[in-house]
Amino acid sequence: MHAQYILGMTDRHPGSAPRRVRISGRLLWIFATALGGATIVSAATMLHDTSRRIDAARLVARATAEQVVSRATDRLSMATVSRDADESLRFDVGTKRLDVSPRVRDTQLPSRDLLTELALNAARQGRVHLATDSRLGDRVLVTETELDSAGAPVVVSGLVARGGVVGRVLFAGMLARPPVDSARGLVRLDSLSLEVRTADGRVLFGAIGNDPGRDYHATVRPVGPLEDLTVAVAITARQVPRGLLSFAPQMELWHLGMLFFCTTLVIGAAASSSRRALALARARSDFIAGVSHELRMPLAQILLAGETLTMQRERDASERERLATSIVRESRRLIALVENVLFFSRSGAVEFTPNLEPLSVQALFADVVEAVQLAVDDAGQRLDTIVAPSVGVLGDRRLVRQALVNLVDNALKYGSRGSHIRLVAEERGARLVRLCVDDDGPGIPARERARLFEAYERLARDQTSERTGSGLGLAIVRLISRSCGGDAWLEEAPSGGTRAVIELRAAVLPQPAPEPSVVV
């Protein structure tokens, strides 16, 4: 009857919390592997992205070339080349008068017409200007323009000097120290890193090497005083500080960090799931072994008693009664075991609503005693009940009865012959009642008591002992207690053994209706 009741619990409790959905460990490991692969690929791409390194190195080369132009512009003046000049001039813009003063005896000095043309052009350019022209040969013209208060050019002064000399004056110092602020750790040029050419292609200074290591090039056409020049820079990877090329955008660093965090999180979840699955598999294996043992013993007893009765080998009526009693006892034991397994399997699949009603604890204890008395007598133990007739609880009669039978069965397993088991009801104020099962067994360590209410859990000392079990008894007791609005736990019994407690809400028992009086 009770098994049918368990199988019939298919209605879902409308107020119950939804069951948690667990992701299998295999899926978690697949997800962790995918995330780990994505993390590795992202890190490798970021660290070994050659295109980004090449672009960064080219930007560094261009910045270096622009800095070279800037420093050379700052150095450009007539004073810097006056010592090496071949000819000086003074051109009056208003009168177009040109005064030339040669400093060397050279018949190849520029013509006055060319100098006048270049001076007029320099007057339009600005204060300082470097002019190159194929008609100057290997010479260049450095000019400075004086302006009036209105900003109009008045006088242009200039020096004609060898282009190579002017190039060394302006650019040779760039090779002694980095052209860009050394505090920032940029490029230090060598003799093959810098080349300056005039507008017509003549080399004014330096020469870029042709070795294959100079992969990063930049060419700059200045504006302003050095607009007639072209500055080219070619550097190797060794010349660029590692810190300038080993960088990554902030967004990519965040992306990589999030991938690493998610990978770690999923790996942790997968490892936890695998440990949980392994523990569950081990517990199920122990459960199958325990249930097999629990089934084998009563079946063997039933078979032996049945064969004896069938073959009429019993010696007398008392032995026949003993064998029949053994069949009844072991059958009840099998029914109890099957009920526990069915209850636990069904409770994990559906939610159910217990049929709560006021129960007489005295009547409940009487049902339990009737169900287990044969097993108690066979174990040579004693079962007593201590309860007041007026004590009542709110619960499902069949479920609470099953929970108490499970607790008494545990007490029988761990008690020796002559032990004393007590069913005790204690009122806790006006709202709670505790149903206790005390035994004289070895007791349970306090740190292990809570764990035993988990499915398939057993004490380590019982793993290799003959006291096998399904590992579901206490789990079902707590499940029933909580479904009825109460709770269950273990504590130390007054006798030193174990006390199993089921705490339920108190209930007022209905008063029996008075018998109707008979009027004669």
User: 369: part of which helix (H) or strand (E)?
Assistant: helix 361-379
pLDDT at 63 over 60: yes
| pLDDT computed for residue 409 by the predictor | 86
Q: Are residues 99 and 242 both part of a single domain?
A: yes
pLDDT digits 0-9 by tens, 474-504: 888 898 899 899 999 999 988 888 999 999 9
Q: Which of 223, 248, 273 is the last residue of a domain?
A: 248
Q: What is the DSSP string of 62-110?
A: HHHHHHHHHHHHHH-SHHHHGGGEEEEEEEETTTTEEEEEESS--TTSP
Q: Are residues 238 and 367 both part of a single domain?
A: no
d(CA 71, CA 176): 13
d(CA 28, CA 274): 9
Q: Residue 218 — φ and ψ, nearest 5°?
A: -155, 135
3-class DSSP assignment, residue 254:
helix
pLDDT digits 0-9 by tens, 422-451: 999 999 988 999 999 999 888 888 888 888
Residue 273 located in a structural domain: no
Q: Are residues 121 and 237 both part of a single domain?
A: yes
Residue 312 located in a structural domain: no
Q: Which of 5-19, 265-279, 499-513 has the lowest mean pLDDT?
A: 5-19
Domain that holds residue 490: 353-505
Residue 41 located in a structural domain: no
Q: Are residues 243 and 360 both part of a single domain?
A: no
pLDDT at 12 over 50: no
Q: Are residues 243 and 101 both part of a single domain?
A: yes
Q: What is the pTM of this model?
A: 0.46
Q: Are residues 66 and 193 both part of a single domain?
A: yes
| pLDDT computed for residue 221 by the predictor | 92
Work out the pLDDT band at 394, boundaries 50, 70, 90.
very high
Residue 365 located in a structural domain: yes
Q: Which of 248, 268, 302 is the last residue of a domain?
A: 248
| pLDDT computed for residue 39 by the predictor | 82
The gap between the terminal CA atoms of the chain, to the nearest Å, is 45
pLDDT at 15 over 50: no
Question: Residue 226: what residue type?
Answer: L
| pLDDT computed for residue 387 by the predictor | 92
> Which of the two residues, 308 and 7, has the higher pLDDT score?
308
Residue 386 located in a structural domain: yes
Q: Are residues 78 and 222 both part of a single domain?
A: yes
User: Which region, left, alpha or beta, applies to residue 276 given φ > 0 means left and ψ of -120 to 50 means alpha?
Assistant: alpha
| pLDDT computed for residue 8 by the predictor | 38
Q: Which of 214, 231, 248 is the last residue of a domain?
A: 248
pLDDT digits 0-9 by tens, 278-324: 877 776 776 676 666 566 667 777 887 788 888 877 778 888 887 78
Q: Parallel, antiparallel, or unpaired for β 382-386 and 420-428?
A: parallel
Work out the pLDDT band at 462, boundaries 50, 70, 90.
low
Work out the pLDDT band at 187, boundaries 50, 70, 90.
confident
pLDDT digits 0-9 by tens, 220-250: 999 889 999 999 988 887 777 666 665 556 6
pLDDT at 178 over 90: no
Residue 376: CATH number of its domain: 3.30.565.10
| pLDDT computed for residue 177 by the predictor | 59
> Which of the two residues, 84 and 14, has the higher pLDDT score?
84
Residue 234 located in a structural domain: yes
Q: Are residues 58 and 176 both part of a single domain?
A: yes
Residue 270 located in a structural domain: no
The CA-based angle 354-356-358, given to 5 degrees, is 155
d(CA 398, CA 364): 9
Residue 33 located in a structural domain: no
The CA-based angle 35-38-42, given to 5 degrees, is 140
What is the layout of strands, in order, in the sheet containing 216-220?
203-206, 194-198, 229-235, 216-220
pLDDT digits 0-9 by tens, 32-60: 888 888 888 877 776 666 677 777 788 88
Q: How crowded is the C-beta side of 387, counted as CA atoms within 13 Å?
A: 24
Q: Are residues 225 and 372 both part of a single domain?
A: no
pLDDT digits 0-9 by tens, 410-426: 888 888 888 999 999 99
d(CA 401, CA 403): 5
| pLDDT computed for residue 349 by the predictor | 42
pLDDT digits 0-9 by tens, 97-152: 999 988 877 657 788 888 999 999 888 887 899 999 888 888 899 999 998 888 88
Q: Are residues 109 and 237 both part of a single domain?
A: yes
In 301-409, which ranges are E strands? 357-360, 382-386, 392-395
Q: What is the DSSP string of 387-415?
A: --TT-EEEE-HHHHHHHHHHHHHHHHHHP
Q: Are residues 368 and 239 both part of a single domain?
A: no
| pLDDT computed for residue 490 by the predictor | 93
Domain count, the chain: 2
3-class DSSP assignment, residue 319:
helix
What's the average model confidence in pLDDT over 190-210?
86
> Which of the two residues, 182 and 117, has the higher pLDDT score?
117
pLDDT digits 0-9 by tens, 331-372: 877 777 777 677 666 655 445 678 899 999 999 999 889 888
